[in-house]
Homo-oligomer: A and B are copies of this chain.
Amino acid sequence: MASDKIISISNIKVACGDCSLKSLCLPLGLNREEMHRLDQIIKRPRPLQREQFLYRAGDTFRSIYVVRSGSIKTYTTTKSGEQQITGFHLPGEIVGLDGVSVDIYSCNAQALEMTSICQVPFNRLEELASSLPGLQHQLHRLMSKELLADHEVLLQLGKMSAEERLAAFLVNLSNRSAQRGYSPHEFNISMTRTDIGNYLGLAVETISRQFTHFQEVGLLEAARKHIRIIDLPKLRSLAGGEAPCESNSNPKVQA
């Protein structure tokens, strides 16, 4: 089932040209002509350098973006200057939906490394969606999926211990790695421990300690940005029995 999905992903990816628009055009059976129309409205700005902003909180909202390669973090800031990372966005994923509600981006979006993106003007996308019901529905699914991902993190921040949070975070990254066709056991992360701590509501030191703890019990190896998960099942169980559906594979299909 899962592998089946993977295969169809790469098929469509090919059909879809180079692009990482699978998030948008993937599960919605657009035909070639429709895909072409979608492709028409997409721009490909020059890649972002590390630390460069894709947009800042307060900027006028015009487009959403699809990450093609690299990664982007989004974060809000409090009056007191503290920042809270709201998400990490990997290739194939969407950035910018936070801007829709008031035509102003509410987050800052900053590249964690050299990152290339597709730009999708939102008003054009809405126009197109009016005539392509499948596209419209897919757009809605994407937004809803963001909600689910946020609820997932809400659960982590609200109920989980430091150990469980980091486990859940790593499982999530593992799932997303697999979803992009890479190994779920070995991948590189682009964010610093500080970023992880910020995202998970924990101090850097706590993250670091948990990493060493996981290594001591033989769960994984973490050399800087390189992560190798040795006992994924155990990590999953630590993560609270498995995440419902984050931004990855489909859960139980019927009720």
Please give the residue numbers on chain A whose beta carbons come within 8 Å of chain B beta carbons, in ascending order. Answer: 56, 58-60, 76, 78-80, 82, 84, 86, 97-102, 104, 106-107, 126-127, 129-131, 133, 136-137, 139-148, 150-151, 153-155, 157-159, 198-201, 240-242, 244-245, 250-255
Residues from chain B with a CB closer than 8 A to the CB of A242 are: 79
Pick the contact of A126 from B131, B136, B158 — CB < 8 Å?
B136
Between A and B, 17 residue pairs with Cβ closer than 8 Å are A58-B252, A60-B255, A78-B155, A79-B240, A86-B151, A98-B144, A98-B147, A100-B140, A100-B141, A100-B143, A101-B141, A101-B245, A106-B151, A106-B245, A130-B136, A150-B150, A154-B154
Question: Number of copies of this chain in the oligomer?
Answer: 2
Q: A98-B148, A136-B136 are in contact. List 4 more A-B contacts (CB 8 A).
A: A78-B155, A82-B159, A101-B147, A143-B147
Query: Which residues of chain B come closer than 8 Å to A98, judged between CB atoms?
Result: 144, 147-148, 151
